[in-house]
Each structure stands twice: as C-alpha cells, then as structure tokens.
Structure 1
Amino acid sequence: MSTSDQTELCYPHLGNSSCRRTVRPHSVSVLLHIILSSISVLTVTLNLMVIITISHFKKLHTPTNFLLLSLAVSDFCVGFLFIFQILLMDGCWYLSAGWCVFHTVFGIVVTSASIGTVVLISIDRYIAVCDPLHYPTKVTPNRANICVVLCWVCSAICHTVSFKDNIEHPGEFNSCIGECATSTHPVTQIMELLLSFIIPVSIIVLLYVRVFVVAVSQARAMHSHVAVVTPHGSLKVYRSELKAARVLGVVVVVFLMCMFPFYIVLLLAGATEVSLSSLVFVLNLAFFNSCVNPMIYVFLYPWFRKSLKFILSLQILKSGSSVANIL
C-alpha cells in the first residue's frame, strides 16, 4: 500500500479494516478547529453565566426563569459536545466504542430535553399572555421545576431504552475501525421523529401563533383605550409578560431556524443518500443554537447584562449579593 493511500486511513497500520478519513488542506483544518473550539468555549462560558445568574439572584427565581435555567443547562452541555465534533472533524473516531455511544446518547438526551424545555416556555408564555389573571396560580415555581425535572427524566429514560442494544454492545454497528455508528429500530426512529420534532414544533408554532394574535388584539385595545377599565397594575403586569413573550419568541424562532435543517436532513437521509459533510454541518448548526441563546439574553434582557457586571466584577462574592435587585 502506498504512503498516499495510508494517509487517507484513520488507522494506517490496520490496512483495509480501518475507516477512511476526510483529507483537507492544513489551513482549512486549522481554521475549522479554531472556529469550533471558539464556539465551544463561548457556549460553555455564556451559558455558565446564565446558570450562575438565575441560580444566585433570588429576584430571578420565577417560573419563566427556571425554564430558561433548564435551557441554559442543556446548552451548557452542548458546549462540551462540540469537543466530540472537533474529534470527528476528519470523520475518524479515535476514542473507545463506549465513548461513541455516550456521545450519541448524551447528545440526543440533551437535545430532546432542550426541545421539551422550549415547549414548556411556549406553554408558559401562552398562559401568561392569554390568561394573565390566573397565571400566578396556574404557573408556580414548584410546578415549573417539576415540569423541568420530568422533561429531563423522560428524555433520559426514553433514549436510554431506545439505544439499549448500543449501550450493551458498543461498536456492534461499526462497519470499520475508526467509525462511530449507532443504530435503532425503524419504528423507534419514527417515534423519535414524532416526539422530538413534529409534535413539539407543532405545539410551539400553534401556541406562539395564538400568543401573537392575542398580543395584537390587546395592543389594538390599549391604543383605542378599550382597556381603560383594566387596573393600572394589571396593565403593567400584562405589558411585562408581553415583553417577556417577545424576547422568548426570538429564542423560539432562532431555535426552530437552527433545528429545522438538522431534522430535514434526517428525513432526507431515510429516502436518499446524504453526504457526511451535510450531516455534520446541520448538526453543528443545531449545536450553534446553544451559543446564540445567551447572546439573545445579553441584547434583550437588561437584568442579564446587569448580572454579568456583578459576576465579572466579583460583586457576586459579597455577602447579601443574592438579594440584590438587578431587575
């Protein structure tokens, strides 16, 4: 075997039993490593700031923010998943088969929990805008926390069961050495598509369309002074909830824009052959959403910008900082 042929193998010393790797110009490879590494560090850092902020400041312990905390935790985990994407840059898996299964299952659990959290955020905003008077009694911090825990537990259990054969026999579905392949039953794949994409996206879109319709009608009512009978305090609360709905609406739209291509490619993969580069691109785009979310908070949430100053200036270490009013 020639030297040029050997350099295209993941494990040249294993010959034909080794998988082939993707060969790129050195400058392109370095650039991709720098980009993915930067995104990974930024994703982990920014989401850690969100986690610290909502966990530390008691003024932020609201049902909506607990849902944002869940989303930040999933996004924080995705930041570490970028490390595996960097390792898979040339199409070769150099870690053990067990780590391959962990990477796959953990990534799907985190992504599924993230989608479930976005559904909960949509439900939260729907109740807050469409039924503001009963929102405080219907949506409480304890109920929000219970929903978040159930979302994560159900995601973990369902996908652990789905990948039971892969977990018990790691590497069984690899066609060559250096591959990271997993497999699930076709029925499971269809259920996964329904539960993790079609049904959640349908719920999210329907709820936010309803929120938008109600928001527009309320805005017209306020402009025409029809809402003059509404107590001033209630009107102020409603405007606050509406503003939160707009911010989280941006989060939801960006989320759908990043996730749609990934699931569309997965659908196409079942009918036609999809290139590895296309699959890697849409997967990284889906992961990139985890970096975008905290950036949205920076630009649209004044309390997050204020909390960042507290954290970076180390004022958060002072006694009593948890009760500071950053709203």
Structure 2
Amino acid sequence: MEAFRETELCFPQLLNASCVKPQRPHFEVLLTYVLALSLSLLTAFLNLLVIISISHFKQLHTPTNFLLLSLAVSDFFVGFLLFGQILVTDGCWLLGDHMCIMYQYLDYVITSTSVGNMVLISVDRYVAICDPLHYPIKVTQIRVKICVSLCWICSVIFQSLILKDVLKQPGRYNSCIGECIIVNNYAAGLAEVIFSFILPITVIIFLYMRVFTVAVSQARAMRSHVTTVTQRSTKVTAKKSELKAARTLGVVVVVFLMCLCPFYCVALTGQDNLMDASSVAFVTILYYFNACLNPLIYTLFYPWFRKSIKLILALRILQPDSCETNLL
C-alpha cells in the first residue's frame, strides 16, 4: 500500500492504462522547467531579431544573408519546439498521440532543414573564396531563394517518407497513455542517418577544409603585400570582406557541429538507454542550444547586426524609409 501511494500516474483516472511519472527531485524538475523556458524565449527572440533585420533592411538583401535568414527561421521554430521539452518536464506527455507525432515530425523537419541550410552556407562560402570571379554570376538572389525553398520542401518530403508509418498510426509505439516516442524501422533509420547526418556533415567538412586552405593562402598573400596574381585567367583573390564572412560563418558551422554531433552520436549508438537522465538532458539541451548561439555569433562578428538591433529595439524601423538605412 505504501508503494502504491508513492506511485504517481500521468492520468490517475485511467489507472492501469496510464504511464507512471518518473521519480525526480522537485528541484531538478523546477530547474529543468526554468532553463527550458528561458532558452525557448531567448532563442525565439534573438532569431526574430535576425529575421526582422534581414527582411526589413534592403541593404542586407544579399545571397549570403538570405541563407542566414533561412537558418534563423528554422532556429526560431526550434525555440517553440523547446516548449515540448517543457511539457514533458515531469515525464508525461499530456497532449495526446496526434500532437505527439506532429511535435516529433516538426522536430525532424526543422533539424534536417537546419543541416541543409548549413550545407548551402558552406557551398556559398566555397564559391565566394575559391571562385570569387564567378561568384556574382553563380550565386544570385534568385538561385539562393530557389535553393532555400527546395531545402525546406525536400526536408518536408523526406521526413514524411521516413515517418509515414507513425504518421498513419500515431501512438503505435507508445506502451501507455502519457508517452510520446517514435521508433523507425531499420531502412528508415539508415536513410535518416545517411541523408540527415553523415552525407551533409561530410560535405560541410570537406568544403570548409577547402575554404580554410584557400583563405589561409590568400591571407598570407595579403600580409606579404603580394600584388602579382599567378594564373590570372583562372584565379582571383577573394575580397577581404569575403574572407571575414568565411571566418564568421566558419564559426557558425563549427559550433553547429559541436552541438549536433553529440546528440546524433548518442542516438546512433543507442547509448541513450545506458545514460542517466541528466546526461540525456545535457545532450538534448546542447542540441537545442545551438539555435540560440547563432544570433550571438552574429552580434560578435557582424557590426550591421548590432546596428540593426539598436534600430529595431528603438522602434525606428517603423519610420518611413527606414528600410533604406545604411548599416554597412
């Protein structure tokens, strides 16, 4: 009888059909709730500043910035997905099977879209640094917008195919009411690993290693005041602004990999079954925390972003012709 009194159910009225709430210290639950809520609001707010900045100010309508805009949109939605983590702070999912699968589906779509955005950013920097002469011709606003749209569309289609079984029958893998889990079959899991992690990460690392090599050689050339360019017909030295952008976006990519890889490594090896709740929570929070870091990186490295933030917070963007403001 004593054990029965100590057992808490997610849905007490359902008795044996309900999941049992995990026994966690009240302080740990409260701390998790506060951290998740704070991170959710901060992530949404900071990325909203990026979205408004690039969308409003015409001077920022460049191909590279449109890629950052797409990344900010996906990171903005990550802020809302963190509310799902708040809902399961006490170990119970209270919104039903259909909301569970929609939450998981959006999580998968946004994650794969973020990875796709990182690949596009890497390609953009590769062309800008390694082939600067043809960059304005190859990378145009129209082409970037098409690539970004395809990135989102392909993510939706790919995840719909991966999760088609659970989308047809939500809650099929739940063992009790109050649980929210998804189990992919072997083929779907393998496709997810290859196309959402291994292949994109390989492309990103390869392209940025190439960018790093070229950027270092060009930086040395500029420091030594080299004015003669060899093989003038095929090589043109990238502008200093492009090198700086490559460095900034390189930081974004490295931070992205540092936050994403632990989560995927745990998921791939199945070690989440062997880890305690605190370790799993740390890996998950690190995964979501990346969405909050990108605007902070822009603040450190981009003067135009700092200027735009001041204008937005001062509500000066509401003034006529504010979109024509010089930020560079």
TM normalised by structure 2 equals 0.93
Unmatched runs of 5 consecutive residues or more in structure 2:
none
Taking structure 1 as reference, are residues 272 and 85 closer, same or farther at Cα in structure 2, changes over 3 Å only?
closer
**Residue in structure 2 matched with residue 310 of structure 1 by the alignment:** 311
Taking structure 1 as reference, are residues 180 and 293 closer, same or farther at Cα in structure 2, changes over 3 Å only?
same
Taking structure 1 as reference, are residues 276 and 157 closer, same or farther at Cα in structure 2, changes over 3 Å only?
farther
CA contact (8 A) 1:268 1:274 kept: no
How far apart are the structure 2 equivalents of 1:178 and 1:6?
Answer: 18
**Residue in structure 1 matched with residue 143 of structure 2 by the alignment:** 143
**Residue in structure 1 matched with residue 77 of structure 2 by the alignment:** 77
**Residue in structure 2 matched with residue 289 of structure 1 by the alignment:** 290
Instruction: Give deviations 1:61-83, integer Å, cap 9, x for gaps.
Output: 00100000000000000000000
**Residue in structure 2 matched with residue 244 of structure 1 by the alignment:** 245
CA contact (8 A) 1:39 1:288 kept: yes
CA contact (8 A) 1:97 1:180 kept: yes
Unmatched runs of 5 consecutive residues or more in structure 1:
none
Taking structure 1 as reference, are residues 80 and 271 closer, same or farther at Cα in structure 2, changes over 3 Å only?
closer
Taking structure 1 as reference, are residues 182 and 33 closer, same or farther at Cα in structure 2, changes over 3 Å only?
same
CA contact (8 A) 2:132 2:237 kept: no
* 1:217-232 map, 5 Å: 217-228=217-228
How far apart are the structure 2 equivalents of 1:3 and 1:272?
Answer: 25
CA contact (8 A) 1:6 1:12 kept: no
**Residue in structure 1 matched with residue 267 of structure 2 by the alignment:** 266
SS at match of 2:227: helix
How far apart are the structure 1 equivalents of 2:322 and 2:102?
Answer: 39
Taking structure 1 as reference, are residues 54 and 114 closer, same or farther at Cα in structure 2, changes over 3 Å only?
same
How far apart are the structure 2 equivalents of 1:273 and 1:153?
Answer: 36
Alignment RMSD (CA, Å): 2.1
Greater shift in the superposed pair: 162-171 or 121-130: 162-171
**Residue identity opposite 1:12 in structure 2:** P
How far apart are the structure 2 equivalents of 1:310 and 1:237?
Answer: 31
**Residue in structure 1 matched with residue 198 of structure 2 by the alignment:** 198
SS at match of 1:47: helix
Taking structure 1 as reference, are residues 222 and 278 closer, same or farther at Cα in structure 2, changes over 3 Å only?
same
How far apart are the structure 1 equivalents of 2:194 and 2:3?
Answer: 47
Instruction: Give deviations 1:173-226, integer Å, cap 9, x for gaps.
Output: 111111002222211101100101111111111111111110111112222232
Question: CA shift at 1:236, angstroms?
Answer: 9.4
Greater shift in the superposed pair: 234-243 or 58-67: 234-243
Matched, 1:123 2:123: yes
Question: CA shift at 1:270, angstroms?
Answer: 7.5
Taking structure 1 as reference, are residues 40 and 195 closer, same or farther at Cα in structure 2, changes over 3 Å only?
same
* 1:106-121 map, 5 Å: 106-121=106-121
How far apart are the structure 2 equivalents of 1:136 and 1:303?
Answer: 21
How far apart are the structure 2 equivalents of 1:179 and 1:166?
Answer: 14
CA contact (8 A) 2:133 2:236 kept: no
Aligned residues: 325
SS at match of 1:22: coil
Taking structure 1 as reference, are residues 274 and 27 closer, same or farther at Cα in structure 2, changes over 3 Å only?
closer
* 1:1-327 map, 5 Å: 1-2=1-2, 5=5, 7-228=7-228, 238-269=239-270, 273-275=274-276, 277-327=278-328
